[in-house]
Structure 1
Amino acid sequence: MPLVFIGIDPETGQADSPTVWVDETKQELVLQGWKAGPELQAEAASFEVPGHAVGIPDDEAVIRMPARMVPMIREACDALERAAVR
């Protein structure tokens, strides 16, 4: 099934485009955001969580999303929950 578009940051104009989608088949949020700068990546990579390795695996990324997109992220979560009950 194709991605379901939820929303795009209305304040980014033509150049930037933090975006939220839902993959109902895989039951996943798909987020496009700004790449984290080196300082933020280093800070995120340094977090220690019991039972997990420190660092960011090669197949993962740290992204930044504007807080104004929280309603879209909530909507995406709701869409996944609705899809799961079908």
Structure 2
Amino acid sequence: MPLLFVGIDPNTGDKQSPTVWADAERGELVLQGWKPGPELEAECAATEVPGHAVGIPEGEAVIRIPARMLRIVREACDVFESHVR
């Protein structure tokens, strides 16, 4: 099953396009966002959270999406849940 497009940043211009998809086959939300600056990535990598290794594991990434996209992320959760049931 192909990715299900859910939404794009409503303030998208020609060069930026934070986007949200649902991948029902893999059971995942797929987020395209901005790369963080080195300071934010280092802060995320250094933050200690119970049950979470310090650092950013190989194959993982920190991304940023604007808070104005929360409605789209919620919609992606709903789309995902409706395609799994």
Regarding TM over 0.5, the answer is yes
Q: Deviations over 1:32-72 (max 9, x none)?
A: 00001100001111111223210001200000000110000
TM score, norm. by length of structure 2: 0.94
Structure 1 segments of 4 or more deviating over 6 A? none
Counterpart for residue 13 of structure 1: 13
TM-align CA RMSD: 0.9
Aligned residues with identical type, % of pairs: 66
TM-score (norm 1): 0.93
Name the one with the larger strand percent.
1
**Gapped regions of structure 2 (runs ≥ 5):** none
The gaps in structure 1 that reach 5 residues or longer are none
Spell out the pairing of 1:5-44 with structure 2 (5 A cutoff): 5-44=5-44
- The reply on whether 1:53 has 2:53 as its aligned counterpart is yes
Count of matched residue pairs: 85
